[in-house]
Copies of this chain bind each other. A is one copy, B any other.
Amino acid sequence: MVNRKYISDAVIRRLPRYYRYLGELLNNNVTRISSGELSRRMGLTASQVRQDLNHFGEFGQQGYGYHVEVLYQEVARILGIDQVHNIIIIGAGHLGQALVNYTNFEKRGFHVIAMFDIAPGIIGQTIGGRTVQSIENLEQYISENVVDIGVLTIPKAEAIHMANLLVECGVKGIWNFASIDLQLADPTVIVENVHLSDSLMRLSYKFSNQN
């Protein structure tokens, strides 16, 4: 058991990348890799890779490097994706439909167990194998099923109300795509805000400032 120290956001931000790169190495039957080679592929420095991974224990061996599969499994464990997480999606519009059909999530232990919407036209339709339910069923559904994470793919105006409703029902994680930074009163609820237009603005910034 490793003593957990404070881990900076920057390190946490890189962990999924390690996971992806290690997964790709495994797919290409690479069994071991040096910190130098791993860092080169990821566009980091070797010392940064060593520092990052040292937060979580001693994985590398002098003169051998990293055992790819062991490190891959360990990063998965650290990220908590060796566990199954049950997800419900609120909002069966295009983005909700894109997410329910995204096979990468299933591979990483995220199971979409239900979708909800408010629009009569879409309730009852089957999307990615799930029948869209009326939002009116939400509270009952959560009381009868284990729901870890609620995904909000709904307009900003409804996001705060819906997030609070999920929290009242006992949901402990919110993955929010509405263009608002959700700030909830309950600090035990984990919120991850995704702002797609922030990403586009960063692209615009780099575009405008490259010369």
Contact A201 B94 (CB under 8 A): no
Contact A203 B183 (CB under 8 A): no
Contact B98 A205 (CB under 8 A): no
List of B residues within 8 angstroms of A179 by Cβ: 20, 104
Bound-complex Cα distance A196 to B181 (A): 17
Bound-complex Cα distance A81 to B182 (A): 24
Contact B192 A194 (CB under 8 A): no
We find that the number of chain A residues with CB closer than 8 angstroms to chain B is 57
Known: A101-B94, A201-B108, A204-B79. A16 touches B85 (CB 8 A): no
Contact A209 B173 (CB under 8 A): no
Contact A201 B79 (CB under 8 A): yes
Contact A98 B93 (CB under 8 A): yes
Bound-complex Cα distance A23 to B195 (A): 15
Q: Taking the full assembly, how many copies of this chain does it contain?
A: 2
Contact B16 A195 (CB under 8 A): yes
Bound-complex Cα distance A96 to B83 (A): 30
A39 at the interface (CB under 8 A from B): no
A202 at the interface (CB under 8 A from B): yes
Contact A205 B15 (CB under 8 A): yes
Bound-complex Cα distance A17 to B97 (A): 27
Contact B183 A43 (CB under 8 A): yes
Beta-carbon contacts under 8 Å, A179-207 to B:
179, 181, 183, 188, 190, 192, 194-207
A208 at the interface (CB under 8 A from B): yes
Which residue of B is nearest A101, CB measured? B94
List of B residues within 8 angstroms of A149 by Cβ: 203, 207
Between-chain CB contacts (< 8 Å), 24 pairs: A4-B209, A12-B202, A12-B206, A16-B195, A17-B181, A19-B201, A80-B204, A80-B207, A94-B98, A95-B98, A99-B196, A102-B196, A104-B179, A104-B197, A108-B197, A173-B203, A175-B199, A175-B200, A188-B210, A190-B207, A192-B200, A192-B203, A194-B196, A194-B199
Q: Which 6 A-B pairs have the closest CB atoms?
A: A80-B208, A94-B98, A16-B198, A192-B203, A16-B201, A95-B98
